[in-house]
Amino acid sequence: MKSKIAIFASGRGSNSRAIIHYFKDHPFISVDCIICNRKNAGVFDVAEEEGVAAFHFGKEEFQSADKILELLKIRGVDWIVLAGFLLKVPSLIIGAYQGRMVNIHPSLLPKFGGAGMYGDNVHLAVLEAGEPKSGISIHWVDEGYDTGSLIQQFECIIEENDDLQSLKSKIQKLEHEHLPQLLESLIQNEKG
């Protein structure tokens, strides 16, 4: 049986699209659904275009966790990936998906992580600090913001003329290239 992934997302959904494309017709992994907390997020268009089920949950509904867990259970979801997801994941979901839930963060954690460090805010802070490099961090999800143990990081150089747009596109290129592959190898390892 294929391992099923649920993607939790709040934004534009470019990582969601990359993950869906990568696992299309994959022999042992499939993307089952997208769960999103923002009604008008671009990721709903991605889901529709790619023919993937998508569900909206409000913040409170999400934080009470029962309905989400029930949905994940009914659909037989094995793995969760947070791909640009804004809300803190409640302990009940973390407990149920221990060792099977990963997050992607657009900086070299522990630098530029924590509450409020999301999307463009991260890149702006990195540029403001005059960092020579940035990158992406893929880590296990725990109860904090961006504090779970690191699985892998990938770096890029920041040039003198880089701005928000150019840094963001370097980072997204890294994300789209590495996140699906890393997920695949984690799932493969778990299957043994």
Asked whether position 112 contacts ligand GAR by CB under 6 A, the answer is no
For residue 4, the minimal CB distance to ligand GAR (Å) is 20
| Residue 5 host element (H or E) | strand 3-9
How far apart are the C-alpha atoms of 163 and 94, rounded to whole Å?
A: 36
Asked whether position 123 contacts ligand GAR by CB under 6 A, the answer is no
Judged by beta carbon, residue 40 or residue 74, the one nearer ligand GAR is: 40
Q: Where are the beta strands (DSSP E) in the chain?
A: 3-9, 29-36, 53-56, 79-82, 101-105, 133-140, 150-157
List 56, 105, 139, 176, catalytic entry: 105
Which of 47, 118, 135, 182 is the binder for ligand GAR (CB under 6 A)?
118
Asked whether position 135 contacts ligand GAR by CB under 6 A, the answer is no
**Strand-pair partners of 137:** 105, 153
End-to-end CA distance of the chain: 14
Which of 175, 180, 183, 187 is the binder for ligand GAR (CB under 6 A)?
175
56 is catalytic: no
Asked whether position 83 contacts ligand GAR by CB under 6 A, the answer is yes
How far apart are the C-alpha atoms of 118 and 135, rounded to whole Å?
A: 14
Structure tokens at 37: 């907390």
Contact residues for ligand GAR, defined by CB under 6 A: 9, 11-16, 83-84, 104-106, 117-119, 122, 146, 171-172, 175
Instruction: Give me the active site residues, please.
Output: 105
